[in-house]
């Protein structure tokens, strides 16, 4: 499945979820994603023998963020591989013009909550504004780019860091260094 431009016809296999991404809050998106994974995924939610409960996730929760070198972009997981969920959820803050190359080794949905954000993949640009989302299928080499100061929520299956560590792209993780929350001040303004 290629990265789809929001002006293109949505795949017949996910029309309801695709329409929902534009109109429902992030929490509802997480519930929708979880419900489409099937019984096997639900069973794996208890891999740490700790059942999940409804959880509010906010960008104020992370104790540290991650930044690639001096590029003005910051990532922080709020649901990571230490949780019993097979998914990960996090927040990203990009200063205007900030970009990074990456290959997703997992399925990912980017929900834009502020600004305008572009993903360049397979020679095409797909841009989303606040209230819109971009789906990225596993195996896609791409460039993330903030056309405006941007805040977004990323939702991945399986956990993005774990999937990347196990892939041929593991070395890319070395560029990210932990920074305190204060370092993110002004990144998406």
Write down the pLDDT at residue 50.
65
Per-residue pLDDT of the chain (189 residues; tens, 9 = 90+): 444 444 443 333 333 333 334 434 444 344 434 433 433 333 344 445 567 789 999 999 999 999 999 999 999 999 998 889 999 999 999 999 999 999 999 999 999 999 999 999 999 999 999 999 999 999 999 999 999 999 999 999 999 999 999 999 999 999 999 999 999 987 877
Q: Which residue has the tokens 């991945």?
A: 156
Residues 148 and 189: beta-carbon distance below 8 Å: no
Write down the pLDDT at residue 9.
35
Superfamily covering domain 15-42+61-184: Jelly Rolls (2.60.120.10)
Does the model's pTM come out above 0.85? no
3 state SS of 167? coil
Residues 6+ apart with CB under 8 A from 5: 124, 126
- Report how many helices (DSSP H) and strands (DSSP E) the chain contains, helices first: 4, 11
């Amino acid at each position: 499945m290629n990265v789809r431009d929001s002006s293109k016809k949505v795949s017949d296999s996910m029309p309801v979820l695709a329409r929902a991404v534009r109109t429902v809050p992030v929490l509802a998106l997480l519930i929708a994603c979880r419900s489409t994974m099937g019984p096997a995924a639900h069973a794996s939610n208890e891999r740490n023998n700790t059942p999940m409960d409804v959880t509010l996730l906010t960008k104020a929760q992370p104790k540290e963020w991650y930044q690639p070198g001096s590029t003005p972009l910051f990532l922080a997981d709020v649901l990571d591989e230490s949780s019993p969920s097979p998914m990960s959820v996090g927040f990203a803050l990009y200063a205007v013009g900030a970009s990074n190359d990456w290959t997703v080794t997992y399925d990912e949905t980017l929900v834009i909550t502020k600004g305008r954000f572009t993903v360049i993949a397979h020679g095409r640009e797909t841009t989303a504004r606040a209230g819109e989302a971009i789906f990225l299928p596993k195996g896609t080499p791409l460039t993330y780019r903030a056309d405006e100061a941007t805040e977004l929520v990323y939702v991945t299956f399986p956990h993005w860091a774990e999937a990347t560590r196990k892939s041929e792209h593991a070395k890319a993780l070395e560029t990210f260094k932990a920074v305190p929350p204060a370092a993110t001040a002004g990144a998406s303004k």
